[in-house]
């Protein structure tokens, strides 16, 4: 078997928090990510869902190389992406790129679209003007903009167009993995639909692998192949999108799904209850937390393990 | 038939660009809210839903100017009301909760005192009495340990708790109308669900009418009995919530519903392409010229 495109193995990220006391008194450690493991295959869309503070963005930052892991390995095509032997920024940029939530904040207001897109190409050794022009033109068409718009500045575009520029900027170096951090949550409903359609089209056309971070479960259900549910730094459930949405096993996953304000569900609450309750019983094993109380982030988590309950559908249970 | 609590008639307002020209933001909208009813206004950014709520609250500032229409609250035209009268009404009979509680709360005062202020201002209570009532109000919005929490400052609370404080403040004087402008947009989904349930239950129990403003059709569906869809300063369709979602009749409403990824639809029908409103409606500017669609029915409620 060939190595998966991206492999995250037992990733831990801990932050030292100063207690404000003299000589380091009251120093504590915040456990942001506690032993996350997953693999991302070529052409797949894997989503990490969870609420604020669950560690999903920290996980993404580690993969991008913006946050050094405290423990664990991240491999890209079998090669380490963090720690000793990791490639530099330049190589990493060709492997992984990110699309941010707020394109207006992530684009340089003083650079025209052309400048924003040409800079990474020049940095990566594309010097021929004709090639730069050609690639920018093709990329703008790919994301549904016209080459003439390259002369404009970010403030001249609407929110949806800016997100298209954000996507173009992420894709210009032809990375294999694209991290999508809440790519549509800042957008209006009609624009959101356009960007979701665009992301799915690009994935098919360019064979991209997406790692999407989101709290919007209806978007996640629509786009993902597989889903990881994170709760306080740990994966509490993982599986194919059908496993997670049709047979959620962990109480936290169920709570998340039940909390989505969905018109059909709001109007037909009985129907949805059936969908969520139709889960095989996990006899004899208990959950560490049902997601209704917050664990202490300053202590290491209670020992627990991910148990496979069906093919590739895993849920976190307390250690036997 | 009972009289409507809030009756907005052909409200027009705009932003004055210069002395002679006014850019229209609301191009004549009309709707009614009955006592105890939860009415939702849904629309995308810039459709005019928030400016409608500000007009009802009497919080319009220059360069926003009303150019026509009436806002009747219990038969009284709010637009013609002197400022002093409006101040007496605001917070007392009409209250509002905002999207971002951190900017709406005073960071320099404890939440207990901010809630107590409502009782002092509107009900003439003494501070001592008012602070006791404030603790009670916090308990009513299910804040754990209300007597201890009343002594907290806003920054010591989570987003969900802060929004509960806002609700406690808004409902302190038992208003007839609560305006909620995107009250849960900044919150996590599970917290959002709790806050929505709280608004729904408290208002139903007290018979408070709600004008609920959101861009999220799902949120609107879970709170409101009737919905108005706004687009570019116009109300394009209005109907009972279920009828609107089951049988949208305006092309914009249909587009909006089709653009929404629906929970469970992928497992039932496979992944379907989301509707691109711009592709089904070639010219958005023509959209608002089409007629307003009001519900059909025996009551024949007029647009």
Residue-wise pLDDT for A248-277, tens only, equals: 888 889 888 888 887 877 777 655 444 445
pLDDT at B287: 63
Nearest chain A residue to B277 by CA distance is A190
B263/A51 CB distance under 8 A = no
CB contact under 8 A, A261 and B221: yes
Top residue of B189, B244, B245, B272 to mutate, by most chain A CBs within 10 Å, is: B189
Residue B284, pLDDT score: 65
Q: What is the mean pLDDT of chain A?
A: 86
Whether the predicted pLDDT of A25 surpasses 60: yes
pLDDT at position B228, please? 96
Q: With the CA atoms of A242, A245, A247 and A249 taken in that order, what torsion angle do they form, in degrees rounded to the nearest 10?
A: 120
Give residue-wise pLDDT tens across range B58-90. 998 888 989 899 999 999 999 999 999 999 999
pTM (2 decimals)? 0.87
Q: Are A228 and A314 in contact (CB under 8 A)?
A: no
A88: confidence class by pLDDT, cuts 50, 70, 90: confident
Name the interface residues of B facing A (CB cutoff 8 Å): 44-45, 188-193, 196, 215-222, 241-242, 245-246, 255-264, 266-267, 271, 273-278
Give the chain A residue whose CA is nearest to the CA of B269.
A222
pLDDT average, residue stretch A17-44: 83
Please, are residues A9 and A78 in contact by the beta-carbon 8 Å criterion?
Answer: no
Mean pLDDT of A70-87: 85
pLDDT reported for residue A102: 83
* Cβ–Cβ below 8 Å for A261 and B196: yes
Alpha carbon distance, N-terminus to C-terminus of chain A: 32
Give B217's contacts in chain A (Cβ within 8 Å).
189, 263
B162/B90 Cα distance (integer angstroms) = 21
Give the model confidence (pLDDT) of A135-165 as tens digits.
999 999 999 999 999 999 999 998 899 999 9
Q: Do B190 and A259 touch (CB under 8 A)?
A: yes
Identify the pLDDT of residue B298: 42
| b/e per residue A61-79 (b: at least 16 CB within 10 A) | bbbbbebebbebebbbeee
pLDDT band at residue A278, thresholds of 50, 70 and 90? very low
The CA–CA distances, whole Å, from B9 to A51, B23, B27, B51, B299 equal 42, 20, 11, 15, 19
pLDDT at position A213: 94
Q: Quickly state the pLDDT bin for A174 (edges 50, 70, 90).
A: very high
Domains in chain A, please, with CATH?
A: 6-318 (3.40.50.300)
Of A188, A246, A275, the CB nearest to B45: A188
User: In the structure, what pLDDT confidence band is assigned to residue A24 with cuts at 50, 70 and 90?
Assistant: low
User: How high is the ipTM of this complex?
Assistant: 0.82
CA distance B219 to chain A (A): 5
Q: Which of A29-33, A44-48, B218-222, B267-271 shows the highest mean pLDDT?
A: A44-48
The answer to whether the CB atoms of B218 and A263 lie below 8 A apart is: yes
pLDDT at position B289 is 56
In the predicted model, residues of chain B with pLDDT beneath 50 are: 297-303
Provide mean pLDDT across the span A50-68.
Answer: 89
pLDDT for B303 equals 38
By C-alpha distance, the chain A residue nearest B44 is A188
- Residue scoring higher pLDDT (A184 or B297): A184
Residue A216's pLDDT is: 87
* String of DSSP letters for A74-115: EEETTEESSSTT---HHHHHHHEEEE-S-HHHHS-TTS-HHH
**What pLDDT is recorded for position A283?**
52
Amino acid A300: pLDDT: 76
Provide the pLDDT for residue B301.
40
The C-alpha atoms of residue A300 and residue A298 are separated, in whole angstroms, by 7
pLDDT, tens only, A187-236? 888 899 999 999 999 999 999 999 999 988 999 999 999 999 999 899 99
């Amino acid at each position: 078997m060939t190595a998966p495109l991206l492999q995250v193995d037992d990733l831990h990220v801990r932050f030292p928090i100063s207690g404000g006391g003299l000589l380091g008194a009251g120093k504590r450690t915040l456990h942001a990510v506690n032993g996350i493991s997953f693999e991302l295959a070529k052409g797949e869309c894997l989503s990490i869902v969870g609420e604020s503070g669950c560690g999903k963005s920290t996980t993404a930052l580690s993969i991008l190389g913006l946050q050094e892991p405290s423990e664990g390995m991240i491999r890209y095509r079998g090669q380490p992406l963090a720690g000793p032997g990791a490639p530099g920024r330049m190589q990493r940029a060709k492997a992984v790129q990110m699309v941010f939530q707020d394109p207006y904040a992530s684009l340089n207001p003083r650079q025209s679209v052309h400048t924003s897109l040409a800079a990474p190409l020049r940095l990566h050794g594309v010097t021929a003007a004709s090639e730069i022009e050609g690639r920018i033109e093709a990329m703008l068409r790919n994301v549904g903009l016209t080459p003439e718009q390259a002369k404009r500045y970010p403030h001249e575009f609407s929110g949806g167009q800016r997100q298209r520029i954000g996507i173009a900027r992420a894709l210009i170096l032809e990375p294999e993995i694209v991290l999508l951090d809440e790519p549509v949550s800042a957008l209006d409903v009609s624009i959101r639909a356009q960007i979701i359609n665009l992301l799915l089209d690009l994935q098919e056309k360019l064979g991209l692998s997406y790692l999407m971070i989101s709290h919007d479960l209806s978007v996640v259900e629509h786009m993902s192949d597989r889903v990881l549910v994170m709760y306080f730094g740990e994966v509490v459930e993982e599986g194919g999108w059908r496993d997670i949405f049709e047979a959620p096993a962990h109480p936290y996953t169920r709570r998340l799904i039940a909390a989505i304000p969905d018109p059909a569900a709001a109007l037909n609450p009985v129907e949805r209850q059936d969908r969520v309750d139709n889960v095989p019983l996990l006899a004899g094993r208990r959950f560490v937390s049902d997601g209704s109380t917050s664990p202490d982030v300053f202590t290491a988590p209670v020992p627990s393990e991910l148990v496979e309950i069906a093919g590739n559908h895993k849920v976190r249970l307390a250690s036997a | 038939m009972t009289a409507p609590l809030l009756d907005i008639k052909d409200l027009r307002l705009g932003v004055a660009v210069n002395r002679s020209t006014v850019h229209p933001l609301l191009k004549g909208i009309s709707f009614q809210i009955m006592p105890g009813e939860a009415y939702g206004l849904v629309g995308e950014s810039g459709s005019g839903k928030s400016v409608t709520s500000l007009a009802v609250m009497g919080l319009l500032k220059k360069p926003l100017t009303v150019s026509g229409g009436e806002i009747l609250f219990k038969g009284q035209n709010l637009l013609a009301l002197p400022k002093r009268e409006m101040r007496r009404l605001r917070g007392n009979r009409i209250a509002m909760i905002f999207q971002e509680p951190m900017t709406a709360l005073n960071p320099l005062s404890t939440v207990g005192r901010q809630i107590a202020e409502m009782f002092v201002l509107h009900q003439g209570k003494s501070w001592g009495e008012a602070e006791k009532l404030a603790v009670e109000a916090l308990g009513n919005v299910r804040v754990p340990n209300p007597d201890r929490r009343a002594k907290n400052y806003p920054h010591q609370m989570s987003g969900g708790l802060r929004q509960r404080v806002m609700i406690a403040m808004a409902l302190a004087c038992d208003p007839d109308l609560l305006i909620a402008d995107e009250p849960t947009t900044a919150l996590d989904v599970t917290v959002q669900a709790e806050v929505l349930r709280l608004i729904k239950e408290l208002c139903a129990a007290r018979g408070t009418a709600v004008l609920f403003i959101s861009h999220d059709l799902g949120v609107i569906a879970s709170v409101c009995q009737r919905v108005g869809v706004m687009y570019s300063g116009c109300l394009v369709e209005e109907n009972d919530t279920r009828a609107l979602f089951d049988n949208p009749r305006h092309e914009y409403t249909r587009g909006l519903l089709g653009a929404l990824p629906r929970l469970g639809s992928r497992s039932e029908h496979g992944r379907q392409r989301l509707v691109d409103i711009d592709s089904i409606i070639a010219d958005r500017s023509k959209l608002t010229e089409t007629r307003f669609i009001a519900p059909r029915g025996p009551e024949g409620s007029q647009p």
